[in-house]
Amino acid sequence: MTDRPIFHLAIPINDVSLAKQFYRDGLNCQVGRENRNAVIFNFYGTQVVAHVTKQPLTEQAGIYPRHLGLILPTELEWRQLLERAREKQLSFYEEPKLRFPDKLTEHRTFFLEDPFHNLLEFKYYRHDEAIFGGREIVEIGDRD
């Protein structure tokens, strides 16, 4: 087992094979258990369970209020993942950018969209304390 809690997220898909192409082949996520109705991925330590649904999967209107995010520990790892996404020709929902330059909350970010319209954000914070701290700062995301 593990000595710390593990985050778990269930997401909708409509094709296990296509999900494996995106998450395993594209993002290098390890595949766990699977059957014709679901597949489990190790999404960088998060258990993502992709469940097949017959309901229509529609595009989100934007990145808010829902997306799954991953904070990389180093800028190099963030850049390597960005390069992998480009090499594997994954679908970018938002191209890489720098948010809040020269502030405590400065971070690099990009968004991918999986084949089922689930949005994924990948970021790197220049200052670790911005991840959970900086309570005096009101900037969160791009909205006012």
What was the pLDDT predicted at 1?
63
* Confidence at 71, pLDDT banded by 50, 70, 90: very high
pLDDT digits (tens, 9 = 90+) for 115-140: 999 999 999 999 999 888 877 777 77
Report phi then psi at 60, rounded to 5: -80, 155
Q: What is the mean pLDDT of residues 24-50?
A: 97
pTM: 0.91
What was the pLDDT predicted at 135?
73
What was the pLDDT predicted at 142?
67
H or E element, residue 95: strand 92-99
What was the pLDDT predicted at 144?
45
Look-up: residue for tokens 């994924």? 120
pLDDT digits (tens, 9 = 90+) for 40-65: 999 999 999 999 999 999 999 999 88
Indicate the SS3 state at residue 26: helix
Indicate whether 86 pLDDT > 70. Answer: yes
Distance CA 100, CA 141 (A): 10
